[in-house]
């Protein structure tokens, strides 16, 4: 069973996001080993300092993990759901563990971006909590595409 980790900055605050993420995480737990790791958000009121603090936490957490990293970032490659499913299947066939990285409200620094492959969820800017929901839904969709379940039509 493939292990996938979502390494993210900050805890979910809104009940709608908590419920949606729990639902998708529960569904994913039937198909793969899914772990969501929340790192504390930075305390600085200055966006650049907060981004640096959070990025350092992410790099430290990544050093404790094996496998490949995929960084969710606006500069990343956009994929269709089918393309994402194929990429996940390739990683699964190789026996790779994957850690997906979702930064905080002010994004990530270049040091984090260099840790892995860049993946863009949307050309539009999305609120941080919505990004987590969208990502988990797309991860679930990709696993269902891989199974041929009919969830994706």
127-130: long-range contacts at Cβ-Cβ below 8 A with a sequence spacing of 24 or more?
128/10, 128/102, 128/104, 129/12, 129/13, 129/14, 129/17, 130/17
Going by DSSP bridges, is the β-strand pair 68-78/33-39 parallel, antiparallel, or unpaired?
unpaired
**Residue owning tokens 């679930």:** 140
User: Rounded distance, CA 153 to CA 137, Å?
Assistant: 14
Mean pLDDT, rounded, of the chain: 94
| pTM, 2 dp | 0.94
Query: Over 90: is that where the pLDDT of 152 sits?
Result: no
């Amino acid at each position: 069973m493939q292990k996938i980790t979502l390494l993210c900055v900050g805890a979910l605050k809104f009940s709608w996001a908590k419920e949606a993420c729990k639902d998708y995480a529960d569904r994913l737990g039937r198909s793969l080993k899914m772990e969501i790791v929340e790192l504390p958000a930075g305390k600085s009121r200055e966006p650049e300092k907060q981004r640096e603090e959070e990025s350092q936490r992410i790099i430290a957490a990544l050093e404790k993990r094996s496998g490949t990293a995929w960084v969710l970032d606006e500069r990343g490659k956009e994929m269709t759901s089918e393309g994402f499913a194929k990429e996940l299947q390739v990683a699964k066939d190789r026996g790779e563990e994957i850690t997906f990285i979702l930064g905080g409200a002010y994004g990530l620094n270049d040091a984090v971006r260099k840790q892995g492959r860049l993946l863009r969820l949307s050309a539009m800017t999305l609120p941080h909590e919505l990004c987590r929901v969208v990502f988990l839904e797309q991860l679930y969709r990709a696993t269902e595409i891989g199974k041929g379940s009919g969830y994706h039509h």
